[in-house]
Structure 1
Amino acid sequence: MDSLAANVETKSYKFGKLDAIISILRARMVCFYENHATSSRRGSHRTLVKFPWLLGHLKQTRDGTGNLNMPIYREKQSDVHFSDIKSAAYNPETWPSDLISTNSITCPEKDTGVIKLVNVHVVRLKGNSGMIISAGFCHGVADGTSCFTFLNRWADETRMLITGDPLEEVEYCFDPALLLQYLPSERTPLSETTKEVLSLNSRIGNFIMRLSPTARGKLLNFIDSKTPLHGHLFRISHKALDELRSQVLECMPPGSRVSDNDLLVATAYKVHGQAELEAASNSKGLFARLFQCRTRAQGEHCLLTNFNVTGLLGMGNLNYVGNPLMGESATSNISPPYVAEYMDTFNAPSCKLGTFTALTTHYNVFTTTSNVRRLKMYDADFGSGVQAFTTVPPDYGAGVFLFMPSPSASKDIIVNVSASPAVMDCILKNRHWMELAEFVY
């Protein structure tokens, strides 16, 4: 701890609006190892020197490096054997009971009252048959890229301690303000939908965002506990996706192109919208059902897609691990001038912090898609091989479709879907979805 403090450079980062908004949430992951992998607390400390912002506080303190906000790091031994988990296709029912130690909301620890930016739980399985790493990061300081960049560096540092082989020196960049330096001078008008979204306001949302991070976390964690989610994992084969693409192209003008992401996002949007409508209709009388259909047909369904703009802005060589832009428009419209106009509008005083809270109340249906298939989710080798399987906690977020890569050389797409119990039941009965996707757990 003392050596870590001595090597950490004190620095303050000013949160932008987006960072402040998504700091409410946690980015979480679960990695399974089918070997006697050895994670190392010392290796994690060496990695934290490269990621000093993960040792910070959401509210600035004056204590400097002497008051590091050390991550939660726990290790335990489990009586569960890896083969039992693997044979059940990694079904959460076979996981050690206390494996997931964080929920989806960033809130203070019960013992200390302090919000930890990183929470890591390492579980060693019976008979040295494997290891599981469950981790949660405050989303305001870490997106998917950040989480796995940290994990992969931690593995490299641990392996170096074992083998003695030196590592290549790498510097990581985090400062959110850096994005503004790469914006072009040109501007492209935003779509009407995006302008409408960014003009939304909510008194309740603004009130929540004015609370301290601690008070906000406690409030939202309480609300979250009253609305439990069900989550399931699916697998979409590349063959099934190609067949769907062929069917879609038959209905489009000659020469049209449809990417994998186009198909995945459109399918998630349609399936979730149908499930929400059906679940609402099932709980109401005939007159209410008719009225529900009429009002929902007016387009009150919001789709939020996550889009990483760093490559688009020419920042690919900086090892930037801050949060990507969230774009509410079709990703095909996104260009550097469009990004610049979006950020100008987002950072303007007229766009309030409560905007994204207003989204959830302004639209009857809210679907979020995140395609993380390009992340290095199978690169963390602690000395005995990379992950056998990587996923997220099933209850990742309401209405969230998370598209992940498969292990090894498979091109199949792993999809985690989470929703309310009633909506999830309708998704499982959706014929189109169940023909496209194979149920895993």
Structure 2
Amino acid sequence: MEEFKKSIKSQTIPLCVIDTQGSFSNIPFVFFYENTATASDFMSTESLSKSFYQTMQSFPIFAGRIKATGRGNTSIVVDANNPNMPDYTETSCDVHFDSLKESGFSWRSWPDGVATAGPMTMAGASGEIKLINVHVVRMQDNSGVAIYFSIPHYILDGVAHMEVMKYWCQVHQLMQSGQSERLAGMPVYSTDRSMIQECLPKERTPIDELTRKTFTGFSLIAELLAWISPKLRGRLLSMAIARQNTEAHLFHVSKASLESLRTTISALLPEAGDIADNELILSVAAKTLAQAQSLATGVGASPTKKEGATLPVAVIFEVREHLNMTFKNYTGNLLFPVITTTPLKMLETPTTPESLAAMISNFSETVNGVDPGLVASYVDMVMPRPSCFTRPIVRFLGSKTATSFVYDLMPDMYEADFGNGRPEWVSPIEPFRANAVLLLTNRDTTNGMDVFMTAYPSVMKEVLKNEFWCDFAKLIY
């Protein structure tokens, strides 16, 4: 830790609107490692701590504080004389790793207090918003270790989150194997947000009207949220999220389920063989949630429903590849949302090959329309409007039906190998907002993917009774 403190240099790192769009949430995952060899020095306290702070020397941004200058302009300020040190703790518990395995690693089986920061970006007990929270939990009889690893979305997205985690793993392996001299050759990562502008193409594709209206339309509440401090905003949004009392579940969609669905719709959609797995899950999940919401409210797709009633869905894309930034080691946010609406009468009808084909065709237009020119137009739209990041937050928090879907599969979290093999299990913590869907890499990367879904309890009750969804996606916990 002392070496890390000595390495800190004062600096200010400007953030941009693309960063602040996700600023209300953390990216919190828990990695479970089993001590299969019953080694006494398994992922020792000293080795994990030393390698962590060695890693932090390559990411000085994590010693900074979030500072806002009004209307959403935000920077990370690193003060060498008064750093905001990472929240790194280690505890032990009386839960044996075998118990976790027997329960399938369900949230209810976890030791108390694993998550030390929670799902929302807000100040902790120290009065500061920590920019990285790590909690190492040692299982009973040294049977294994759980590592809670959380970073605010202010700083980076899921891709960069996993890059930091893998970097720590690599540093740990080198230090443990007596190869510390190779640390100097580790990759160098950039936090320079100007890199985004440098990578924009010359062409521009028009932004759809709904996405433009969402980010540019005036909202007094949104403006106030953008003006207040990050700490106060975090506290208010955390209270709003807590009131939703959201329920979450984790499902698995196998390769066989995806292929069966393609076969089912192939007669209606000749291009079914080329439709991405993510797009199929987006269509089925959106339809399932809409049906569940309809049943939970007791309204349904009836003649009394307004003819033009729609369901807002924010489809969020990771766009490093679109901007040719895949190999630039950029640690920041590169997420691009497209706000879509689908007629509720289309969504709420029973799931048949015909209704599902219509649903997929509806979302295909959105998915296929994301190109470099569209991303560039979006950046042009939001960059001069630093306060616009709160507008979609207000819109989606004010709706009981609005849904968000992270289109791209989260990176393979099971690559986080500290030298003892892949984690036995990796999981997000429990939910932060209703009606959200996140795609996760399954431990068996050859067999489909996992789906993290949140909803209001009454809606989730209907999801769990939905015959098509339960046949398509198997409940994990």
Establish whether TM, by shorter chain, passes 0.5. yes
1:327 paired with 2:354, answer no
Instruction: Give 1:152 shift.
Output: 1.1
Gaps of 5+ in 2: 36-41, 68-74, 340-365
1:102 aligns to what? Answer: 117
Per-residue CA deviations over 1:21-44 (Å, capped at 9, x if unaligned) read: 321211110111112333611111
1:158 aligns to what? Answer: 172
Aligned-partner SS, 1:113: coil
- Any runs of at least 4 consecutive aligned residues in structure 1 with deviations exceeding 6 A, and if so which? 288-292
2: CA distance between counterparts of 1:119 and 1:88? 26
2:27 aligns to what? Answer: 27
Alpha carbons 2:11, 2:77 under 8 Å: kept: no
Letter of the 1:294 partner, please give it: K
1:61–1:438 CA distance, 2 compared to 1 (3 A)? closer
1: CA distance between counterparts of 2:464 and 2:56? 42
2:372 aligns to what? Answer: 336
Instruction: Give 1:351 shift.
Output: 7.3
Aligned-partner SS, 2:420: coil
1: CA distance between counterparts of 2:398 and 2:310? 8
1:48 paired with 2:56, answer yes
Instruction: Give 1:213 shift.
Output: 0.8
Letter of the 1:87 partner, please give it: E
Alpha carbons 2:246, 2:457 under 8 Å: kept: yes
1:284 aligns to what? Answer: none
The alignment's TM-score, normalised by the length of structure 2, stands at 0.85
1:292–1:425 CA distance, 2 compared to 1 (3 A)? farther
Once superposed, what is the RMSD of the aligned Cα atoms? 2.3
Instruction: Give 1:347 shift.
Output: 2.3
1:157–1:2 CA distance, 2 compared to 1 (3 A)? same
Alpha carbons 1:202, 1:354 under 8 Å: kept: no
Instruction: Give 1:256 shift.
Output: 6.8
2: CA distance between counterparts of 1:361 and 1:225? 12
2: CA distance between counterparts of 1:270 and 1:387? 33
1:64 paired with 2:79, answer yes
Per-residue CA deviations over 1:112-140 (Å, capped at 9, x if unaligned) read: 21111111111111111111011221111
Instruction: Give 1:293 shift.
Output: 5.7
1:294 aligns to what? Answer: 305
1:185–1:362 CA distance, 2 compared to 1 (3 A)? farther
Letter of the 2:319 partner, please give it: V
Alpha carbons 1:237, 1:437 under 8 Å: kept: yes
2: CA distance between counterparts of 1:24 and 1:383? 34
Instruction: Give 1:422 shift.
Output: 1.0
Letter of the 1:43 partner, please give it: S
Letter of the 2:254 partner, please give it: S
1:399 aligns to what? Answer: 435
Aligned-partner SS, 2:434: coil
1: CA distance between counterparts of 2:276 and 2:77? 49
Instruction: Give 1:254 shift.
Output: 5.8
1:134–1:254 CA distance, 2 compared to 1 (3 A)? closer
1:201 aligns to what? Answer: 218
1:289–1:370 CA distance, 2 compared to 1 (3 A)? closer
2: CA distance between counterparts of 1:13 and 1:175? 7
2: CA distance between counterparts of 1:101 and 1:63? 23
2: CA distance between counterparts of 1:140 and 1:56? 12
Aligned-partner SS, 2:375: helix
Instruction: Give 1:343 shift.
Output: 1.1
Alpha carbons 1:301, 1:364 under 8 Å: kept: no
Instruction: Give 1:20 shift.
Output: 2.1
Alpha carbons 1:302, 1:363 under 8 Å: kept: no
2: CA distance between counterparts of 1:183 and 1:48? 30
Per-residue CA deviations over 1:206-239 (Å, capped at 9, x if unaligned) read: 2112110111112222222222211111111100
Instruction: Give 1:326 shift.
Output: 2.1
1: CA distance between counterparts of 2:303 and 2:48? 55
Per-residue CA deviations over 1:298-320 (Å, capped at 9, x if unaligned) read: 24312112212112211122111
Instruction: Give 1:183 shift.
Output: 0.6
1:285 aligns to what? Answer: none
Letter of the 2:26 partner, please give it: R
Alpha carbons 1:234, 1:440 under 8 Å: kept: yes
1:263 aligns to what? Answer: 280
Instruction: Give 1:64 shift.
Output: 2.2
The alignment's TM-score, normalised by the length of structure 1, stands at 0.92
Alpha carbons 1:32, 1:133 under 8 Å: kept: yes
1:428 aligns to what? Answer: 464
Letter of the 1:55 partner, please give it: A
2:323 aligns to what? Answer: 313
1: CA distance between counterparts of 2:48 and 2:100? 23
Pairing 1:217-256 to 2, within 5 Å after superposition: 217-253=234-270
1:317–1:409 CA distance, 2 compared to 1 (3 A)? closer
2:349 aligns to what? Answer: none
Alpha carbons 2:410, 2:439 under 8 Å: kept: no
2:418 paired residue among 362, 365, 382: 382
1: CA distance between counterparts of 2:89 and 2:420? 21
Instruction: Give 1:290 shift.
Output: 7.8
Alpha carbons 2:51, 2:171 under 8 Å: kept: yes
Aligned-partner SS, 1:40: helix
2: CA distance between counterparts of 1:57 and 1:23? 13
Letter of the 1:113 partner, please give it: G
Gaps of 5+ in 1: 282-287
1:37 aligns to what? Answer: 43
